Structure 1
Amino acid sequence: MLRLRSYVLTHLLSYPSASASPISSLHRLLRTAAPASPISASPAFAVEDYLVATCGLTRAQAFAASTKISHLKSPSKPDAVLSYLAGLGLSGADVAKVVVKDPRFLCISVERTMAPVVSGLTGLGLSHSEIARLVSFAGVSFRTRPMVSRLQYYLHLFGSFDNLLPLLRRNAYLLSSDLQRTAKPNIALLRECGLDACHIVKLCVRMPRLLTTKLERVRAMVACAEGLGVPRDSGMFSQALRAVAFLSEKKIAAKLERLKNTVGWSDAEVGTAVRKSPMLLRASKDRTQRLSEFLISEMGLEPAYVAHRPALLTYSLEGQIRPRYCVFKFLKENGLLHHDRDYYAAVLVTDKVFMKKYISPHDEAVPHLAEDYAAACRGEVPTIFRLT
């Protein structure tokens, strides 16, 4: 304003002719010097407020998400996305989870990207409700059309959407990783190792990372599994792969040494045990120690006996090993079981078979045996089983 006033005064004072009207000159100067009246602009799009009010995010979530979509200048695109998601059946809570996980999801073009992807998924046989569930796990990959061909491959591999969904929950990268560089070569290698489709699926269900890790790493796992002495054509090979998966040779060596020292095995015995039951490598030290102490110290089994029957170290001490031993010991001590009967056979069978072979035949002689066994399975191990 001061500059304008100085400008006006300077020009007024510079007019030499007294005939010129100062007032008319002032009007002319104001028209030329004064800025045009501002055009009322629409208020700026408040991304953070939109995320809270429309998407259901908390203020803290909205603040974090808004930094990734601060370029949005209007709600038109996110409104279109939210409307489309609602049409698929996503609830407000589901939408909030999607936006928190991937704020840029709100920037997808419905016409160019989302609709074609949904059309492709529908063509694979997925219902709108299944697609809605998929949105929650697919994240960034849902924003790209190649996701449809990737999902098609995995549906064929795992047989159904319901079989595949648990893997997507654990490894969302399945739908964004390159099939030609990871999944397909890795599956081909597993087939070369003699694993059939059923074993491959079971292995991948337990370890979804097998489908997204580099081929070189899977080759290293195969070599480590063979290093345990488990041949590729063995029925234990898939378990051996699980046991060594994503572990370095140094860690595997350390686990073997710990297992040997915990149970009291020799090098040969630990090798025998791991070949028969590779997943012993994944058992915790505390669990292995408690089981081995009971088997060796309380039951009187030799470490070599356990090494050739390593499954004994894979069952629950409280729920199976101790209760069945109590029954087995009681029956032998009371002459109700042949003394040459091996306890190992009693551990291997299902609970239904155990009841049929070791409990039911003695209902008359030991009417409380079933009751005492049930109490033992609950952790209420009686000092002495009741004979009458």
Structure 2
Amino acid sequence: MRINVGLGIFVVSLLVVPVMDAVYIKGQVGLYDKFYVTVGLLALAGIGDALVQGGLIGVAGELPERYMQAIVAGSGGSDWYLKESLLFSIVLVCDLRFPVPTRASANSRVDPGLTPFLVEKHSFSPELAVKTASSLTYVKDPRKCDTIISFLKESGFSKSHIEAVVKRKPNLLYSSLEKTIKPKFKIFQDLGFSTHDVADIVASDPWILTRSVDDRIAPSISDLKTVLGSNDDVVKLLKTSAWFLKSDLQKTMMPNIEFLRNCGICSSQIVSYVFSFPRFFLLKPESIKQFVERADALGFDRKSNMFLAAIRMLSSMSEENWELKLKLFRKLGFSEDDIMSTFRRTPQVFAVSERKIKQVTDFLLNRTNVGISFIISHPMVLICSLERRLKPRLLVIETLESKNSLRRKVSITTIYKMPDKKFREKYVVPYLKELEEVSMSIVGT
């Protein structure tokens, strides 16, 4: 009896999967119903196999010994067959649970209702709709996404804003509107941010909508306003660095700024650096103190306007890279005093790549009548763009000098220091005829 029941269960378990695929599934992937049924059938097949083997062993026990030996030998093959069957079923289940997308059937890997809904109702591009739906395979009712998208539209988000949000964080469309989204918008509105400002900030970093209002967003905005002074400046910063709202500024930015002020650095310079090098202020306070100690050890004057630039530069490079930069300057002909003088006057030069320093140096020494002493005296020239400033400007001056168009010789200092607008007004616009052979795209006019 047990043998017959076990065989019946085992046969039924094997037959249900192909029958279900032919009648119900019909080639679709990602259906959870089939996943759960298949898992149940695996367990049922195991029960059936146990009943069959238990019944056979019971019967063999009443027969001569050779029959038991045959059963034991046969059960090894049966176990192998069962394991192979189970392995096949597991592969099948994994394929159903985690379908592998193919280029030929990109639309079939997602919920068939979400993709057309995003395209037809909200004008998503087919590519973005498919990508979004593939990240939201658990969404069974597209109306949940509709609620979030509609709210964003009502809150002043343009099509490009919404696309930016969805590309960066698609699962935001399945968040709780009341608990997750609205409280963040309310705090922005209460603090006086315009709808367009909020849209720009959220689109640049939608992860901020997952942060706590009371523990992170509101305190961070308050701290930024204390440092920067106005909502307009806070908005300006957050549009490019919204990740400030994901950090605990009381543990990083605020103590760092207080320490730098105590070092004698003025607030206006600190604010300028917050916009130019925002991540510098999110370093651990212990690290900032170490960089200040290094600058002090190198003989830097804290009263110098370059002190903050020196600290920031030291924070951007390891001690190993610092040593490599020292070796480079020595190789170019800088003495130890020259190197320290360059660092104190123009610390930004040490952040320039080794490749660029070599290129600018080689160009100046080979193309112009200057020596290494000029570069030592004017290290700022190493920061200038070789392709956008030095080369085109020298080409202009050389062309004008070859035609005797200039009353006096132009120094290399003037060439690299003069602002772009003034250079064009003085050396390009009055000499357009003389510069006909010079590519205007190189000159920059």
TM-score interval for Structure 1 and Structure 2 normalised by the shorter chain? 0.5 to 0.7
Contact 2:313 2:350 in 1 (8 A): yes
**Among 101, 109, 133, the residue aligned to 2:200:** 133
| Structure 2 counterpart of 1:25 | none
CA contact under 8 A between 1:272 and 1:308: conserved in structure 2?
no
Q: Which letter maps to 2:268?
A: C
Report the AA paired with residue 267 of structure 1.
E
Q: What is aligned with 1:240?
A: 310
**Amino acid of the residue matched to residue 276 of structure 1?**
R
Please give the alpha-carbon distance, in whole angstroms, between the structure 1 residues aligned to 2:135 and 2:346.
Answer: 49
Distance 1:63 1:355 in 2: 50
Q: Aligned equivalents of 1:157 and 1:328: distance in 2?
A: 51
* Greater alpha carbon shift after TM alignment, 143-152 vs 176-185: 143-152
Separation in 2, partners of 1:155, 1:377: 48
Cα distance, 1:177 vs. partner? 0.9
Partner of 1:122: 189
Query: Within the alignment, does 1:107 sit opposite 2:174 as a pair?
Result: yes
Residues 303-338 of structure 1, C-alpha deviations (whole Å, 9 max, x = no match): 23421221233333124456457768998x99x549
Q: Contact (CA 8 Å) 2:396, 2:438: kept in 1 or not?
A: yes
Give the CA deviation at 1:265. 1.9
Show the 5 A alignment for 1:1-388. Answer: 54=121, 65=132, 69=136, 72=139, 74-143=141-210, 144-145=212-213, 146-159=216-229, 163-164=233-234, 167-168=237-238, 170-261=240-331, 263-315=332-384, 316-320=389-393, 323-324=396-397, 337=408, 344=413, 347-350=416-419, 372=434, 378=440
Alignment check: 8 A CA contact 2:316 2:351 kept: no
1:214-244 Cα offsets, whole Å, 9 max, x none, are: 2233334434444554332211123223433
CA distance in 2, matches of 1:371, 1:64: 55
Q: CA deviation at 1:284?
A: 3.3
Q: Is the 8 A contact 2:295 2:311 kept in 1?
A: yes
Residue 147 of structure 1, CA deviation: 1.6
Question: Which structure 1 residue ranges, 4+ long, deviate > 6 Å from structure 2?
Answer: 325-331, 352-356, 373-377
Match of 1:9 in 2: none
CA RMSD of aligned residues (A): 4.1
User: Could you tell me how far apart the structure 1 residues matched to 2:117 and 2:148 are?
Assistant: 13
Distance 1:156 1:180, change over 3 A: closer
Q: Distance in 2 between matches of 1:75 and 1:247?
A: 49
Structure 1 pair 269–168 and aligned structure 2 pair: CA distance change class (3 A): same
Letter paired with 2:314: V
Contact 2:390–2:415 (CA under 8 A) maintained in structure 1: no
Q: Distance in 2 between matches of 1:170 and 1:87?
A: 24
Q: Is the 8 A contact 2:329 2:339 kept in 1?
A: yes
What number of residue pairs does the alignment pair up?
327
More helix by share: 2
CA distance 1:204–1:371, change in 2 (3 Å): farther
Query: Deviation digits for residues 257-308 of structure 1, max 9, x if unmatched?
Result: 22332x3322322222232221212323443234323433443433234212
Alpha-carbon distance between aligned partners in 1 of 2:440 and 2:147, rounded to the nearest angstrom = 56
Question: 2:394 touches 2:415 (CA, 8 Å); kept in 1?
Answer: no
Q: TM-score, normalised by structure 1?
A: 0.67
Query: 2:263–2:302: 8 Å Cα contact kept in structure 1?
Result: yes
Deviation at 1:85, TM superposition (A): 0.9
CA distance in 1, matches of 2:275, 2:134: 36
After alignment, is 45-54 or 245-254 more displaced?
45-54
Relative to structure 2, which stretch is displaced further, 246-255 or 136-145? 136-145
Q: Within 2, Cα distance between the matches of 1:155 and 1:134?
A: 15
- Greater shift in the superposed pair: 182-191 or 50-59: 50-59
Aligned residue in 2 for 1:24: none
Q: 1:344 and 1:47 mapped to 2: Cα distance?
A: 63
CA offsets 1:91-134 (integer angstroms, 9 cap, x no match) = 34432321232233223333334333322212221122222222
For 1:32, the equivalent position in structure 2 comes to none
The 1-side partners of 2:290 and 2:120 are apart by 51
CA 1:355 to 1:90, structure 2 compared with 1: closer, same or farther past 3 Å? Answer: closer
Q: Distance in 2 between matches of 1:224 and 1:325?
A: 44
Whether contact under 8 Å (2:392, 2:442) holds in the other structure is: no
Deviates more, 1:297-306 or 1:318-327: 318-327
C-alpha distance after superposition, 1:319-376 (max 9, x if no partner): 4456457768998x99x549xx9653665444676689x879xxxxxxx867547976
Unaligned runs of 5+ in 2: 6-110
Q: 1:223 to 1:135 in 2, by over 3 A?
A: same
What is the alpha-carbon distance in structure 2 between the residues aligned to residue 222 and residue 325 of structure 1? 45
